[in-house]
Amino acid sequence: MKEKTIFPREEHSDILFQKILKDPWACEKLQATFCDFLFCNDEFDHPLSPREFSKALFESYKNRDLSAFLMGICQNTIFDLLRNSFLIPYRFNADGKQNPIIMTDENGLLLPEYDNPFYKKEYSTFQKIYHDLESDRNLFLAQAYRYSHDYGPNHMNIDQKILEITTGVLLIRELPDTVKLKETEAEAYAAVWDIMITLEKELPMAYVFYGQDTLVEHNKKYDELGIFLPNSHFLKHLEKHIEKAEAIIYAQK
């Protein structure tokens, strides 16, 4: 029988899951995130009716589709839960939606569309850090958001649901060699997992992004790693946080 899962089943995910299972800290994060979304479920705009819940339960059992059921009870797929536990990275511009949103150019100047009083404080802090750092290459003021997935109108489509959007500093660096040859999303997650977990333990609540052939320098494309430090958590001593993030990345190259 052909499976009809709402998301393609991710291949070669076992290595990623085993890495998480071997780390008690990661397992605790995942369980806490699941419980948080499960118990605040009444806040979502489109809760499932009893019939829709039952249908999602039976369809997920029939099709062996865990994500369909998880979306029904906590508005997160399995990979949403991992992302929102900060246990796997975000893809740059996932689902065709811009994330992160870069607000400055390669010289650290605010792009015209963001040159307004609303961003004045964030930009002033960023500009000072930008000029004080020894290396300001690929360092940007940016906005990024966390998201999950939800059923769209009439539950016919799957939509990306923004949970939180914040302003901060984005570092973009070339990915370590260990990640470049990975073919599937889960394999890439597993390859970059050691870097990400070190970053999360040292810089809790930092967002990690990755992309394949998304960094362009001198007309060549590279796989890239992005570290986003939200101002809400890292504005104080921001320069030290940036230096710590770079030290972690380069220690793994």
Instruction: Return contacts of 199-206, CB within 8 angstroms, 24+ apart.
Output: 199/227, 199/245, 199/248, 200/86, 200/87, 201/25, 202/244, 202/248, 203/229, 203/234, 203/241, 203/244, 203/245, 204/86, 204/233, 205/86, 205/230, 205/233, 206/86, 206/230, 206/233, 206/234, 206/245
Cβ proximity of 158 and 6 under 8 Å: yes
- Indicate the angle between helix axes 238-251 and 185-202, nearest 10 degrees: 140
Token readout for 240 is: 């030290």
CA distance 69 to 67: 5
Helix 24-39 with 185-202: angle, nearest 10 deg: 100
Amino acid letter, 238: L
Place of tokens 């960094």: 215
pLDDT at 151: 67
Strands 90-91 and 207-217: parallel
As separate numbers, helices (DSSP H) first and strands (DSSP E) second, the chain gives: 10, 6
Q: Judge contact between 162 and 123, C-beta under 8 A.
A: no
Sheet of 207-217: strand order equals 90-91, 207-217, 220-230, 158-174, 139-151, 101-102
Q: pTM for the whole thing?
A: 0.78
pLDDT at 155: 55
All residue ranges of the chain with pLDDT < 50 are 1-8, 43-46, 178, 253
